[in-house]
Structure 1
Amino acid sequence: MAQFTVYANPNRSTRATYPYLLDIQSDLLDDLRTTVVIPLSPLRLAGKAAISRLCPVLDIDGESYVALTQQLAGVDRKILGKAICDLGRYRSDIIAALDFIVSGI
């Protein structure tokens, strides 16, 4: 599993609100059973409530999604299915959001 890979949300009850999960865990920790993900929500659902620095907007196939960094979670790697896409091009925005949630800067 590569860092910044997007997976479809396997949870039917939350899939409409959070259709994708973004794997943010370092590739150096691939031996762990779990990985850390950030849920991605369509921009139209998040609206103005999203704090831009904390919740960067990411593009997947021409649609905008908000990374809800404040809702990051650890999940078992087994629940993640096939990779949808790679968002490594947003690395600096994602890392900045993680820095902001941890250190406030």
Structure 2
Amino acid sequence: MAQFTVYQNKNSQSNKVFPLLLDIQTNLLDSLQTTVVVPLKKLGSNKDKALTHLTPTINIEGTDYLILTPQLAGIQRKELGKAIANVEYARTEILNALDFLLTGI
């Protein structure tokens, strides 16, 4: 499982609001049964409310999504749905958002 891979959210309680999950955990920990994910939400009327440093946007298959960094969570790998994209291209923005969340810088 590659870092920065986007998966479908299989959880029926949250997948309507957060259809996709971004795996941010390093590949060095692939042997763990858990991984750290950040939910993605379609960018809609919230566009003006987005905190660009904390919740950057990415484009997947022509749709813009907010990376909801403050809502990161650890889940069982088996809870991940189908892999649909890898957003390695946004690595810098994703890591900057995590750094801002954790250190304020």
Q: Could you tell me the TM-score, scaled by structure 2's length?
A: 0.95
State the SS of the aligned residue for 1:17. coil
C-alpha displacement at 1:50, in angstroms? 2.2
Are the aligned partners of 1:17 and 1:45 in contact in 2 as well (CA < 8 Å)? no
% same residue: 50
**Amino acid aligned to 1:55:** T
Q: Distance in 2 between matches of 1:15 and 1:78?
A: 15
CA contact (8 A) 1:43 1:66 kept: yes
Where does residue 69 of structure 1 map in the other structure?
69
Runs of 4+ in 1 over 6 A off after TM superposition: none
Residue 5 of structure 2 corresponds to residue 5 of structure 1: yes
Between stretches 74-83 and 32-41, larger displacement belongs to: 74-83
| Gapped regions of structure 1 (runs ≥ 5) | none
Rounded Cα–Cα distance in structure 2 between residues aligned with 1:53 and 1:2: 24
Distance in 2 between the 1:70 and 1:35 partners? 16
**Where does the alignment leave 5 or more consecutive residues of structure 2 unmatched?**
none
Query: Would you say 1:24 and 2:24 are equivalent positions?
Result: yes
Q: How many matched pairs?
A: 105
